[in-house]
Homo-oligomer: A and B are copies of this chain.
Amino acid sequence: MADNIYVVGHKSPDTDSVTSAITYANLKNQLGMKDVVPAAAGEINNETKYVLEYFKIAPPVVLNDATDKKVILVDHNEVGQAVDNIMKADILEIIDHHKIGDIQTGKPIFFHNEPVGATGTIIASMYELNGVAISKEMAGLMMAAILSDTVLFKSPTCTDKDKATVEKLSKICGEDPQKFGMEMLKAKSDIKSKTAKDILFGDFKKFDFSGVKAGVGQIEVMDLADLAPKREEILAEMRKALESEKLDMIVLMLTDVIKEASDLLFVGTAAAKEGFEKAFGGKVTNNSIYKEKVLSRKKQVIPPLESAFKK
């Protein structure tokens, strides 16, 4: 296994990270690079499990340490979100759709970042560019990635290219996007079986806002009321994580995908709270600020936080 090239997404892997690793490794395999294998930077979540089982694809190996490994990064380009010791790895390529982060390389590499709704959209176009046919299974995985990351096209990160790509992919895999997407979201938002810790860390990313160390998580549900009974437990978990992860603040987006709004739970220092309130133009009440129309961490939560803390 020493000479394998691992395609791997971010920690707290979501469906786009995991399926992008699988589909991009598949593309490389089709192009003759047989030593490229998919990996996940942690345990896969319920939604992704549902997707992989639906299309009968085995979950990828888990990669916990990148030291001396050859890797291709998908769906992230920040050291804090990557597998441990990523700067001791040989990074061969990066395919992403986020803001440009802090990963640096010692030599020129292929790095393609595009402001679309999902990495899956970019990978689908790379199959096309390379003239490689997309199998039913790979089409299903990429469609799932796009539907998941754009919350069924509702997120402001969603572009026309994402929609057009899903249309093409749905024809190949034979699944109706809306129907499949709702089933997938249901699998994701099955929170009864989840602990407060699962909820906090299920989709959790670290950021550095001009020196302010932050963690920003997100959980999407069909109805915020489902989360109400666990609210105090989740806040306690957030306060614990502040200390254990050495952070200045943690925001957890409780996102109602039907009402299209997010309740932004906050814990952190007084200075961080000030920045958080500035970012979202409100006062923290009962540990949160409720924001209509906020669905996207990447487009609606990270940029205002970046600006608020900019020196």
Q: Which residues of A contact B (CB under 8 A)?
A: 94, 97-115, 157, 298-299, 302-303, 306-307
Contact = CB atoms under 8 A, between A and B. Distances in A.
Contacts of A99: 104-109
A113 B95 CA distance: 10
Nearest to A112: B112
B115 A110 contact: yes
A111 B100 contact: yes
A214 to B, nearest CB: 14
A103 B100 contact: yes
Nearest to A305: B106
Nearest to A114: B110
Contacts of A108: 97-99, 113-115, 157, 298-299
Nearest to A101: B104
A100 B110 contact: no
Given A100-B94, A112-B112, A107 B307 contact: no
Given A108-B114, A108-B299, 11 more contacts: A97-B108, A99-B104, A99-B105, A99-B108, A100-B103, A101-B104, A102-B104, A107-B115, A108-B157, A109-B115, A111-B111
Nearest to A103: B100
A57 to B, nearest CB: 27
A231 to B, nearest CB: 31
Contacts of A105: 99-100
A234 to B, nearest CB: 28
24 contacts: A97-B108, A98-B108, A99-B104, A99-B107, A99-B108, A100-B109, A100-B111, A101-B104, A102-B102, A106-B302, A106-B306, A107-B115, A107-B299, A107-B303, A108-B113, A108-B114, A108-B298, A108-B299, A109-B113, A109-B115, A110-B113, A111-B111, A111-B113, A112-B113
